[in-house]
Amino acid sequence: MTELTLSRAETKSVASSIAEMRRFEILKALAIFALVAALPIIVHDVYLQNVLILTLMFAALSQSWNILGGYCGQISLGNALYFGIGAYVTSMLFVGFSITPWLGLGLGGVLAAVLAVVLGYPCFRLKGHYFSIATIVIAEIGLLLVHNWDYAGAALGIQWPVGQDGWTTLQFARNKIPYFYLALGLFVVTWFVTFFIEGSRWGYWWRAVRDNPEAARSLGVEVFRSKIAAAAVSAFFTAVGGGFYAAFVGYIDPDSVMSFRFSLLFALPAVLGGIGTLWGPAVGAAVLIPLTEILRSYAGGSGNGLDLIIYGGLVMLVALAKPDGLLSLFQLMGRGRST
Amino acid sequence: MTNESILAVRHVTRRFGGLIANSDISLEVRRGELLGLIGPNGAGKSTLFNLIAGTYAPTSGEICLDGDDITSLPDTKRCALGIARTFQVPRSFDSMSVLDNVIVGALVRRSGANQAREQALETLDFVGLATRAAAPAVELTPPEKRRLELARALATEPKLLLLDEVMTGLTPVEARKGVELIRRISDRGITIVMVEHVMEVVMPLVDRAVVLNLGKVLAQGHPKDVVRDESVIAAYLGDRHRAT
Ligand SMILES: Nc1ncnc2c1ncn2[C@@H]1O[C@H](COP(=O)(O)OP(=O)(O)O)[C@@H](O)[C@H]1O
Ligand SMILES: [Mg+2]
């Protein structure tokens, strides 16, 4: 016979110990962020600083991808579209109207989120691979449109003017360290957003949608609304990252912010590090992005596709050996995908 | 048990292409009742559950809960109104822990994950899975998965619980525990409709039985009378013949 093993008080204490574990997770994250924030003290080499900035940026962008792809199970391979929107909105407002990039970041984010909702209506009726293929096609259409959009510089792109360094213009030509802290800040924000979503009703709904939509529906989960909400949050932060990138490199053109390579680079760190986990994207980015930069300096440029072949091989290797990602190799960083 | 009906199915038909899985089915479920829905394989039992839970829409006919027509409501809304179900083939959220699976159900009536967690733990305890709360759902044994389905459905605090072959594949010992668990759920005042292929399991347990065959209601009434019904015996014998 099944006997009741827990008293009400015990139930409460198990529940509160889980809440305690989540508070501990926050402390652990703050400690990690503090350590990373101290890195510029020892890293003076400009090239290495650059690698760090890109690593943090891609960690944040992959974390944004992870919100929809990892937690809600909708594998987008077109997030370069939202990245491009952020980059273009921020650049056009700043270069054309001298509007501070801070506003551009927000506006680009909102625009991307709205577009994600609009595109979600048709796309989320597609399942699995069909959804992923649709995202690739839509992003390529976006790339083509921008290529032919004269007002946005068409194929020539947009050059940010050389001006005074400062926090209102987000221009730091002499010293790149502010970009390091901006990228870290972006990652910290996406981490906390993911963390709080994980512990909220949305987090449970999204994972239920990913694992089994039919069962989810029978438990009152609004499957379609879940996907739309996850897509909007994901697109918002992807566009903010795009705006940051534009300010960081100071020059954008369609291929340098909207190519398929970016869509892959948003998905791969999460897949490599541990899809649908809090730390997976960061771990994956810490491996992939420095590797990208090494390849870039040895193989010269990124146009030959060698890096993509290596990423593909790496992801296949991880998928075969450790389907849950690198994170599952050393569990010390996080408890994985469940709370 | 009262005579007041909680669920009314009226002239419900469901076709799949040329196949009529449910044909003009009418039945009532009384509040607090434990109703057995039996019939040979392919009789249309799971289809009827899908129509009541809102997974499929009926081709024609209407379904009322507490006197309100819910025929056009989606499954998510019906869950909120108090209909919960298990699936014949368990559908757990395999990447989530057992506890998190049940929390998804508990969030129907609770907005915060913390209250939902307490409720989920109590429910897991009620079905005897509390010790497995932290395990990944994918690691559960098949009988444990059935209990998890049950816990998840119960966590939505339903008025009406639809159980689709929860006893199938259980050893006699597990089946006895299952029967006891269903009794305890029923004692909580939850109305239960349970589908079972094996008559020997349901008949001693239920207050009333409805027999489906070839998509139609063949007989209904007290279990004792139903098992003696000529047409029911014929249908089951026919089924056995086909099976061998
Ligand atoms: N989704 C579906 N599509 C097509 N045919 C179906 C579907 N679901 C059930 N059926 C058919 O309807 C009939 C009744 O099936 P079902 O309701 O599962 O029976 P039971 O649960 O009583 O064994 C069967 O012939 C089955 O093949
Ligand atoms: Mg069935």
The ligand 1 atom nearest the CA atom of B164: 21
**Is residue A331 within 8 angstroms of chain B, CB to CB?**
no
d(CA A233, CA A67): 8
Residue with tokens 């900035």: A53
Cβ pair A201:B181 closer than 8 A = no
* Boundary residue ending a domain (B139, B157, B175): B157
Range of the domain at B26: 1-82+158-244
Question: Among A21, A15, A58, A77, which residue's Cα sits nearest to residue A263?
Answer: A77
Cβ pair B125:A204 closer than 8 A = no
* Comparison of pLDDT for A302 and A50, the residue scoring more: A50
Packing angle, helices A80-97 and A260-273, rounded to 10: 130
* The token pair that represents A329 in the structure block: 């190799």
Counted residue by residue, chain B has a size of: 244
Same domain, B137 and B178: no
Q: Which of A15, A217, A338 sits opposite B114 (nearest CB)?
A: A15
Same domain, B63 and B4: yes
Burial of B93 (C-beta count, 10 Å sphere; 0-12/13-18/19+)? buried
Quickly state the pLDDT bin for A297 (edges 50, 70, 90).
confident
Residues of B in contact with A328 (CB under 8 A): none
pLDDT tens track for A223-256: 999 999 999 999 999 999 999 999 999 999 999 9
Same domain, B129 and B18: no
Query: CA dihedral defined by A273, A279, A281, A282, rounded to 10 degrees?
Result: -100
Same domain, B242 and B162: yes
Task: Find the ligand nearest to B166 CA.
Answer: 2
Task: Among B38, B46, B87, say which to mutate for ligand 1: greatest number of ligand atoms within 8 Å of CB.
Answer: B46
* Boundary residue ending a domain (B107, B134, B157): B157
User: Which one of A61-70, A128-137, A147-156, A162-171 scores highest in mean pLDDT?
Assistant: A61-70
Same domain, B109 and B25: no
Residues of B in contact with A221 (CB under 8 A): 76, 104
- pTM given for the model: 0.90
pLDDT of the residue at B200: 78
For B95, name the nearest residue in chain A, comparing CA atoms only: A211
What residues does B27 pair with on adjacent strands? B9
What ipTM was estimated for this complex?
Answer: 0.91
The ligand 1 atom nearest the CA atom of B49: 17
- Kindly report the nearest CA distance between residue A15 and chain B, in angstroms: 6
- Kindly report the nearest CA distance between residue B68 and chain A, in angstroms: 19
Decide: B84 in ligand 1 pocket, CB within 6 A.
no
CB-CB contact of A94 with A160 (8 Å): yes
Same domain, B119 and B78: no
User: Does the structure show a pLDDT above 90 at A43?
Assistant: no
Cβ pair A338:B97 closer than 8 A = yes
Q: Which of B76, B107, B118 sits opposite A201 (nearest CB)?
A: B107
* The token pair that represents B244 in the structure block: 């061998």
User: Does the structure show a pLDDT above 80 at B93?
Assistant: yes
Quickly state the pLDDT bin for A5 (edges 50, 70, 90).
low
What residues does A251 pair with on adjacent strands? A159
Task: Among B15, B16, B37, say which to mutate for ligand 1: greatest number of ligand atoms within 8 Å of CB.
Answer: B16
Same domain, B166 and B66: yes
Longest dimension (CA), chain A: 77
Q: Which of B79, B94, B117 sits opposite A220 (nearest CB)?
A: B79
Cβ pair A8:B127 closer than 8 A = no
Cβ pair B87:A214 closer than 8 A = yes
Range of weakest confidence among A100-104, A222-226, B56-60, B168-172: B168-172
For A276, name the nearest residue in chain B, comparing CA atoms only: B95
Packing angle, helices B113-127 and A201-211, rounded to 10: 50
d(CA A231, CA A223): 12
Same domain, B149 and B162: no
pLDDT tens track for A138-187: 999 999 998 888 787 777 788 888 877 788 888 887 788 999 999 999 99
SS3 content of chain A, % helix, strand, coil (to 5): 75, 0, 25
Residues of B in contact with A203 (CB under 8 A): 113
Quickly state the pLDDT bin for A302 (edges 50, 70, 90).
low
Q: Which of B80, B87, B111 sits opposite A220 (nearest CB)?
A: B80
Quickly state the pLDDT bin for A294 (edges 50, 70, 90).
confident
Mean pLDDT of A267-295: 91
Q: How far is the CA of B48 from the centre of ligand 2 (A)?
A: 9
User: Does the structure show a pLDDT above 80 at A40?
Assistant: yes
Question: Among A203, A220, A8, A339, which residue's Cα sits nearest to residue B121?
Answer: A8
* Comparison of pLDDT for B202 and A53, the residue scoring more: A53
Decide: B43 in ligand 1 pocket, CB within 6 A.
yes
Decide: B45 in ligand 1 pocket, CB within 6 A.
yes
Mean pLDDT of A299-310: 68
- Kindly report the nearest CA distance between residue B91 and chain A, in angstroms: 6
Q: How far is the CA of B198 from the centre of ligand 2 (A)?
A: 12
pLDDT of the residue at A332: 47
Q: How many domains would you assign to chain B?
A: 2
CATH number, residue B171: 3.40.50.300
Same domain, B75 and B22: yes
Report which protein residue has its CA nearest ligand 1's atom 4: B16
Residue with tokens 């962008």: A61
* Comparison of pLDDT for A97 and A313, the residue scoring more: A97
Same domain, B33 and B48: yes
Cβ pair B75:A216 closer than 8 A = no
CB-CB contact of B124 with B99 (8 Å): yes
Same domain, B72 and B117: no
Residue B138 is classified by DSSP as G
d(CA B208, CA B32): 12
d(CA B82, CA A283): 43
Mean confidence (pLDDT) of chain A = 88
- Kindly report the nearest CA distance between residue A18 and chain B, in angstroms: 9
Same domain, B243 and B165: yes
- Kindly report the nearest CA distance between residue A29 and chain B, in angstroms: 21
* The token pair that represents A64 in the structure block: 């944004």
Quickly state the pLDDT bin for B171 (edges 50, 70, 90).
confident
pLDDT of the residue at B40: 87
Test mutation, A66, A218, A324, A327, chain B, max B CBs within 10 A: A218
User: Following DSSP, what letter does each residue of A87-143 receive, concatenated?
Assistant: HHHHHHHHHHH---HHHHHHHHHHHHHHHHHHHHHHHTTS-THHHHHHHHHHHHHHH
Cβ pair B156:A11 closer than 8 A = no
Q: Which of B74, B107, B128 sits opposite A204 (nearest CB)?
A: B107
User: Does the structure show a pLDDT above 50 at A295?
Assistant: yes
Decide: B71 in ligand 1 pocket, CB within 6 A.
no
